[in-house]
Amino acid sequence: MSKIVNSSEIVVSTTEKDFLKDYLRSLNGIFNLTDKHLECLLNMIIINKTITGTTQIRKELAKVLQVKGVAAVNNLIKALKDKGAIVEDRNNKCYTYHNSVVPKTLEVKIKFKIAQHV
């Protein structure tokens, strides 16, 4: 549940269990992901907070997401890459997360800055 604290601050109340899901939903205005993309990204992070997209992780995701085979997971991974939520790491043949996707702490502040036109 969101609560407006003052004219420039909104606090989102959550539980430790729901924190990651609520955090990703808050970021979704930036990445514009579908519900299925959010579910996939959430489970990717739960499986491994550092890397994703390996063969083993794709197999685990197929089971967790209850999709028919790894091909469906490949499509989700491509969409997440195209939208910038994950980044290809060609050296290690996997993907890493955009810097903002995996929260570093259980308290996060998101700051908006209006660009000044020169």
> Is 71 inside a domain boundary?
yes
Kindly list the distances between the CA atom of residue 13 and the CA atoms of 18, 85, 100, 103, in Å, as whole numbers in the listed order.
10, 24, 19, 16
- Distance (Å, rounded) from C-alpha 108 to C-alpha 62? 30
CATH assignment at residue 40: 1.10.10.10
> Is 78 inside a domain boundary?
yes
**50: containing domain:** 16-97
- Residue 95 sits at φ, ψ, to 5 deg, of -125, 155
What pLDDT does 49 receive? 94
What pLDDT does 66 receive? 94
Q: What is the pTM of this model?
A: 0.83
> Is 89 inside a domain boundary?
yes
Number of folded domains that form the chain: 1
What pLDDT does 33 receive? 95
pLDDT along the chain (118 residues), means of 10: 61 86 89 95 95 93 93 95 94 90 82 70
> Is 8 inside a domain boundary?
no
Beta bridge partners of residue 60, listed in sequence order: none
What pLDDT does 6 receive? 59
